[in-house]
Structure 1
Amino acid sequence: MTVARTVLGDVPADALGICDAHDHLFFRSPRLPGQELDDVDAAVAELRGFRALGGRTVVQWTPYGLGRRADALAKVARAGDVHVIAATGLHQAVHYDPDVLERVRGRLDELFVEELTEGMHGGGLPRAGMIKVAGGFHGLDDHARTVMAAAARAHHATGAPIGVHHELGTASLDVLDLLWGRHGVPPERVILGHLNRFPDPSVHVEAGEAGAFLAFDGPSRANHATDWRLFDLLAALVEAGHADRLLLGGDTTTAAARASTGGGPGMPYLLRVMRPRIVRDLGEAVAEKIFVENPARAFAVDWRR
């Protein structure tokens, strides 16, 4: 039986319900000083706001070494009454102090598999349910290629899905060429993130035809120039026959972006504003695919370890 691995244990994938497929409860980066997501009470408040609108699952894409608060995720999930799926993996090198990367150099495969099967930070904490990696702007550097190769090997060892941060939405086809073409990761096990930030429908259709999941993760901040194009992009993919590939997330990366404490759109925005708009423009059946059916397939795993 395929299940989704949450911080409170494995659950049947069809029990995930309405899903925020890409977000952050906790996140800390040297590139965002003073905007850390590290407040447990604020995280709980955000989850409760999402839950009050019918939300049932949040996928936290914060990977290793970026303040994902693995020690607090179970508490937050219980208090918010929401399934939480956590991530292992690594982000771009620029988000880390060099000593963090040095500690894991040469042992990424072991780290990722361990966090997926035994528990984050070496066990004793909840297990991750996905692998997060990151590309660069219109290309992949050596760090990205190294991390993605390790993620591919961890996928083959466990079956876990791989979620990809695309810098400003670019290089999605390069990622598929690497993960699928070189390392044999089935496209349906790859989730391509931030595609709304590079609004090229032909690229999106090509990725959908390959079989990858297409994640539109916004708005993280209310001023993204591409936010207004999101519904046109979704409509184009539905018209092309790829409604069963689409995922949607809030990608809340700063304290200011939280609805509960920061005045931003936050997690509830997905269900308060975006889902009704999708129902109006694309129909209830498409909304059900985006928020329920597709995440159940994207994050379901027949765990091998």
Structure 2
Amino acid sequence: MSFIRTLTKDIAPDQMGFTYSHEHIVCRPDFWVQKGEDDLLLDDPEKSKLDVLDFKRLGGDTIVDATAIDYGRDVPAVHRIMEETGVTIVGTAGFNKSFLWDAKIKEELKPLLGNYRTYAEWIDAKSINELADWVIREVEEGLEGTPFKAGQVKFGTGYNRITPLEEKTLRAVARAHHETKAPIHSHTEVGTMGLEQLELLRSENINLEYLSLGHMDRNPDPYYHEQIASTGAFLSFDGIGKIKYAPESTRIALVLNMVRKGYEDQVLISGDTARKTYYKHYDYGLGLEYIIGKWVPRFIDEANREGFDGEKLIRKFFVENPARCFSFKK
């Protein structure tokens, strides 16, 4: 039977409830530390917890934390937030994208990864299968040596390119998926290289219905989205609230285009809230409450005006689709 793997236990898919499909809760990426980019450091678990509580207060049930090992995650802190708020959290094994890999490996990880200075050195030194074994352990045993397990596996690629090391991690994640049956998530930089990712995954015999591609709304191209959706993959429109990239009208139009074309069962919605200025309790931003509190009512209204059942679509995007997307297919 299918199941969802949370940090602490496996649950039935129908227990997932209202779900944000791509967020970051506590992380301190060394890449951004070195550059002095404090806005990109979610380094106060108590403030993060307050935003998670806002999400819960408005009816939220589950958050998929897409923070991989190379993005400075704090697994124990995220677990504490899960325990203290009662919000279910799904963790992530795997990798992000190559430009982050110049970051220094945390000292506490060196006994697990070996005495490498950077993630790039570690990835370069290991074989695809050795990297796959690491990802498998994070799914089946625990993230970074903790008892808290990953519920999805992730890889990423850069803007309009896939580097050799990125291809290496993609193949490692694909092989870890075959072993664990964990769902796969991909980072696409500004929504690019999605089709190229799919071709590489096909070469690893991946059923693309087990994949979700992130940041699709950063590339607001309906034709491109239809090409991806035709493969059976999920598309994550996870830039909600980021007006600097596009108005909400653009994102809603993209989602409704997916519905018109018959792909409503492959849509995921989230905020990728990975900056202090996006969080309400760090820096007065829109916060984790924004999507469920303000975007959802607007979407329902706009969908109804277009002749759709807005409430039914919201249930698909936030309840039914995540329950299928994040299921282990054992």
Q: Give the TM-score normalised by the residue count of structure 2.
A: 0.87
Identify unmatched segments of 5+ residues in structure 1.
none
1:193–1:217 Cα contact (<8 Å) kept: yes
Indicate the residue corresponding to 1:148 in structure 2.
170
Indicate the residue corresponding to 2:151 in structure 1.
129
Partner amino acid, structure 2, of 1:232: A
Structure 2: distance between partners of 1:100 and 1:3 = 35
Partner amino acid, structure 2, of 1:103: W
Mark the CA change 1:279 to 1:212 in structure 2 (over 3 Å): closer, same or farther. Answer: same
Give, in angstroms, the shift of residue 220 of structure 1.
Answer: 6.1
Mark the CA change 1:56 to 1:131 in structure 2 (over 3 Å): closer, same or farther. Answer: same
Partner amino acid, structure 1, of 2:168: T
Indicate the residue corresponding to 2:160 in structure 1.
138
Structure 1: distance between partners of 2:243 and 2:118 = 31
1:253 is aligned to 2:258: no
Indicate the residue corresponding to 1:40 in structure 2.
45
Give percent identity, aligned residues only: 31
Indicate the residue corresponding to 2:307 in structure 1.
none
1:89 is aligned to 2:116: no
Structure 1: distance between partners of 2:10 and 2:169 = 26
Structure 2: distance between partners of 1:261 and 1:73 = 16
Indicate the residue corresponding to 1:183 in structure 2.
204
Moved over 2 A (4+): 102-105, 219-222, 225-228
Indicate the residue corresponding to 2:183 in structure 1.
161
Structure 2: distance between partners of 1:139 and 1:228 = 29
Mark the CA change 1:279 to 1:225 in structure 2 (over 3 Å): closer, same or farther. Answer: closer
SS at match of 1:55: coil
Mark the CA change 1:17 to 1:296 in structure 2 (over 3 Å): closer, same or farther. Answer: same
Q: Deviations over 1:177-203 (max 9, x none)?
A: 111x21111111110110000011011
Structure 1: distance between partners of 2:74 and 2:166 = 24
1:70–1:125 Cα contact (<8 Å) kept: no
Indicate the residue corresponding to 1:233 in structure 2.
254
Mark the CA change 1:226 to 1:203 in structure 2 (over 3 Å): closer, same or farther. Answer: farther
Partner amino acid, structure 2, of 1:121: E
SS at match of 2:70: coil
Identify unmatched segments of 5+ residues in structure 2.
105-116, 304-309
Indicate the residue corresponding to 2:28 in structure 1.
28
Paired residue total: 301
Give, in angstroms, the shift of residue 228 of structure 1.
Answer: 3.8
Give, in angstroms, the shift of residue 100 of structure 1.
Answer: 3.2
1:73 is aligned to 2:110: no
Mark the CA change 1:3 to 1:214 in structure 2 (over 3 Å): closer, same or farther. Answer: same
1:53 is aligned to 2:58: yes
Give, in angstroms, the shift of residue 226 of structure 1.
Answer: 5.7
2:241–2:291 Cα contact (<8 Å) kept: no
Structure 1: distance between partners of 2:122 and 2:163 = 20
Give, in angstroms, the shift of residue 227 of structure 1.
Answer: 4.5
Mark the CA change 1:128 to 1:26 in structure 2 (over 3 Å): closer, same or farther. Answer: same
Q: Deviations over 1:153-190 (max 9, x none)?
A: 000000011111111111111111111x2111111111
Indicate the residue corresponding to 1:120 in structure 2.
143
Greater Rg, structure 1 or structure 2?
2
Partner amino acid, structure 1, of 2:328: V
Structure 2: distance between partners of 1:262 and 1:228 = 25
SS at match of 2:10: strand
2:268–2:317 Cα contact (<8 Å) kept: yes
* Structure with the higher helix share, 1 or 2: 2
2:21–2:322 Cα contact (<8 Å) kept: yes
Partner amino acid, structure 2, of 1:41: E
SS at match of 1:65: helix
2:98–2:163 Cα contact (<8 Å) kept: no
